[in-house]
Structure 1
Amino acid sequence: MNGRTTARLLPWAGSEGKPCYLVTDGTGPLSRVADALEAVQLGMAADLLGHAADLMADHRATPAQLRFLLARMREALADVHRIAESRGARLAERN
């Protein structure tokens, strides 16, 4: 970052599902934890996409399996959406 302190949307929710923010210049240990968690969340979403492709190709997939996959994909989409919001806000602050 450019040394300015900004509020960063973190990749996890707080109590009652409310957004968590960190006031940071982007260089501290909690920022690095957030970066690492974002990488894990994005990797999990990519893995789910692959699993979904496999399951959709398997015509023996049960409704329960599909519901489970859909629930995990909803969670992953919420994580990816939060990451996109956070990164988009940080990009806008740079300009």
Structure 2
Amino acid sequence: MKKFITALALALSVSAPTWAALQTVTLAVPSMHCATCPITVKKALSRIDGVSKIDVSLEKREAVVTFDDAKTTVQSLTKATADAGYPSDIKR
């Protein structure tokens, strides 16, 4: 019986799904200078699977992005903005 319980516990721990967490990151996007820049940045970020919320501010030149860390990474977010012509980095 002990072996069965041990084997069951091991099987469950190996097959259990990894729980994703929503993360929020603020990206500095210094190259935004006009009213259409935030629209372009938001559109680029919204195409990434796992992104659930995007707030882009021209005045602050930043994008606040909430995403599922099991589906995407900060590197994917910064690549998306760079590919759209707006390089970004984590705001510190």
Given the two structures, how large is their TM-score scaled by the length of structure 1?
0.28
Q: Which has the larger helix fraction? A: 1
Q: Which has the larger radius of gyration?
A: 2
Given the two structures, how large is their TM-score scaled by the length of structure 2?
0.29
Q: Which has the larger strand fraction? A: 2
